[in-house]
């Protein structure tokens, strides 16, 4: 005969591993901060260049690489805005506990890594004097890789994730 108290201590019910709790709270903090940080980064990156005349110099028609730089800059801004919008959508998926969230979260990590590497490579192609992977880019790549190494397996294997994102 087994003791009922022992049975409840040794097994965790599904109810106990659902909802935004445990390690999922850390992901929640990141998901909440990501759109804010993305907007701040966009502002820090592009606003000074527009207001101090750097942008006008870069896209000057007298520049040899005018067309390439102009297209590259416009495409980079558009992709950054789309990624920022995707972060807001990810926030929605998280708080509405949508079943799409774990897959979307994983794809955002992968897309971010691809974008950072591709952006650096294309910038180097257009402007060969620009270092391919400067320290800031290397740091960002390392951050994304570590994020993927930690959180992708969690999203795939966690019972809390499977029991929380069900709608």
Higher pLDDT, 155 or 1: 155
Per-residue pLDDT, averaged over 107-133, amounts to 93
Q: How far is CA 29 from the centre of its chain?
A: 13
How many H-runs (helices) and E-runs (strands) does the chain carry? Answer: 7, 0
103 neighbors 96 (Cβ within 8 angstroms): no
**Given a cut of 70, is residue 29 above it in pLDDT?**
yes
How many Å apart are CA 102 and CA 155, to the nearest integer?
A: 6
Higher pLDDT, 7 or 132: 132
Per-residue pLDDT at 101? 98
pLDDT band at 132 (very low <50, low <70, confident <90, very high): confident
The pLDDT mean for the chain works out to 87
**Given a cut of 70, is residue 61 above it in pLDDT?**
no
Higher pLDDT, 84 or 57: 84
9 token code pair = 């201590």
**Given a cut of 90, is residue 121 above it in pLDDT?**
yes
Per-residue pLDDT at 71? 84
pTM (2 d.p.): 0.83
């Amino acid at each position: 005969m087994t003791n009922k108290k022992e049975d409840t201590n040794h097994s965790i019910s599904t109810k106990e591993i659902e909802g935004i709790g445990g390690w999922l709270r850390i992901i929640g903090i990141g998901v909440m901060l990501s759109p804010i940080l993305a907007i701040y980064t966009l502002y820090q990156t592009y606003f000074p260049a527009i207001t101090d005349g750097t942008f006008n110099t870069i896209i000057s028609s007298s520049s040899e690489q005018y067309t390439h730089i102009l297209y590259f800059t416009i495409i980079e801004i558009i992709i950054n805005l789309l990624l920022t919008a995707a972060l807001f959508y990810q926030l929605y998926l998280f708080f509405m506990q949508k079943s799409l969230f774990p897959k979307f979260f994983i794809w955002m990590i992968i897309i971010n890594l691809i974008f950072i590497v591709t952006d650096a490579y294309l910038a180097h192609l257009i402007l060969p004097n620009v270092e391919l992977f400067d320290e800031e880019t290397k740091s960002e790549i390392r951050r994304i890789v570590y994020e993927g190494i930690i959180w992708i397996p969690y999203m795939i294997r966690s019972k809390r994730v499977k029991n929380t994102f069900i709608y």
